[in-house]
Amino acid sequence: MGGLVFLAIGFAGVGSGAVALAEESIPLKCGSTEIGVPKNCEQTVSPLENETKPAKIVRFSFEIRPPESDFSVTDGCSAGVMPAQSCTLVVKFTPTKANASTANLVVSRAVGDEKPTRYKTYELQGTGTKPKLGISTSAVQFDAQQIHTISEPKGVTLTNNSDDKIKIKSVKAHGDFAVNESEVLQTLESAGSFVMKVHFKPEAAGYQAGFLEIETEPDAGIRYVTLGGKAVVDACGRWSRCGVWSYCQRFQIWVVLVLAVLYWLVLVLERWNRIARPTRELLNAQITSLMKEMAYLPTEPANKDDKDWVPNTKEIIEKLQELLTAAQNLLGTWDEKKGRRKVAWSTMLFWSRGEEITGWGYVHEVEVHMAAILDRATVAARLVTEEQKLVASKDDSLKALADKITDATK
């Protein structure tokens, strides 16, 4: 394999003195070769004539103009040539487009420690042809991929541009890349094509480079496609082997969800213990106190001439007891074994002040009706007790209320 131009440069003659330079323009024809495939072509150049043999080592330097041409010097004679010897100059032609290519090769020569001077100029000629096996791209780049995972495939289209059949003899992926060889080893009819799928499967973090090596029958030269992609460490850690939505990642998501639920439960329990339960216990204590007090209410007047007696007091007390029972039921059913009221988990999780507000409304209604049932002396005694608390307050409005109670109980 290879496309090379060999130039043999030599010296003849014996003597001393200045070296006579003769510049010749020699066309070097490399013929035609496929795009991207170097052509193997050789040409020998006879030694210089009518020159005095130099007494010192001669060194050559080479320059291709323009530098971006399809020609390059791969082996020169810059190391130096002894008198009466020769060296081989190698020029390689690798076409990048399907048309004729030309360039100039300028050879300079330096005798001993002298400055180099132009020695010869060669006109390089070559023609690039459309390859028998067409490849849609010369390079494939992959997006960032987690290590130990396989990327989505990227396609490289192979096309038979010749009039004959082409058999894909082998396709080798080098580096952290892969192709399904059983799918790509096939024979292409003339003008036929297929898409070769390439995967990126990095094993280490960082930028990974590789290439595809494609060999065909009949031999059209080995074709190459460069490959590259960036590999990143996945969310599961450097040494894990987790894929996208793999077990490891699903486990991490579940851990986050479980922690979120546990955090919410802690907040619920904290709210229940600090706010809800004390409020419910206070309401239950108030209901219990009223029910005990209601047990001592008179169901008949102390004397028949009692003008403050409320008719149907007994029926009113029964209704008030039912109202207090309903308020207690809002706080849960009574558990005889545990000696306390049962609280459902749903109540703890989704507690709101609605039940307590309703219960306090029942309590307030009971207290209003109880005040109407109590005799004047009992009401006065209660007001006097509250009056003492109001007088001790520093609030002027509460003190004014205490004065009103004093006037009412005289």
Q: Specify the higher pLDDT residue, 288 or 78.
A: 288
Q: What distances in angstroms separate CA 107 from CA 19, 45, 73, 323, one per listed residue? A: 16, 13, 11, 117
pLDDT by residue (tens digit) across 389-403? 667 777 777 667 667
Q: Are 208 and 202 in contact (CB under 8 A)?
A: yes
Domain positions in the chain: 4-129, 133-232, 275-374
Flag whether pLDDT at 5 surpasses 50: no
Q: Specify the higher pLDDT residue, 170 or 245.
A: 170
Q: Are 200 and 145 in contact (CB under 8 A)?
A: yes
pLDDT by residue (tens digit) across 17-65? 333 344 567 888 888 887 777 876 665 543 454 456 555 777 778 888 8
Fold designation for 133-232: Immunoglobulin-like (2.60.40)
Q: From the CB of residue 260, how many other CB atoms can be counted at a distance below 10 Å?
A: 10
DSSP run (H or E) holding 322: helix 313-329
Residue 183's pLDDT is what? 83
Which residue shows structure tokens 């541009």?
161
Fold designation for 4-129: Immunoglobulin-like (2.60.40)
pLDDT band at 231 (very low <50, low <70, confident <90, very high): very high
- Omega before residue 66 within 30° of 0, cis: yes
Q: Which tokens is 210 given?
A: 């590789």
Describe the chain by its helix, strand, coil percentages, rounded to 5.
30, 30, 40
Q: Which of 56-60, 99-103, 104-108, 326-330 has the lowest mean pLDDT?
A: 56-60
pTM of the model: 0.41
DSSP helix/strand/coil, 351? coil
- Which of 119-123, 206-210, 314-318 ranks highest by mean pLDDT? 206-210
> Which stretches does DSSP call E strand in 276-316?
none
pLDDT by residue (tens digit) across 340-379? 777 777 777 777 778 888 888 888 888 888 877 776 666 6
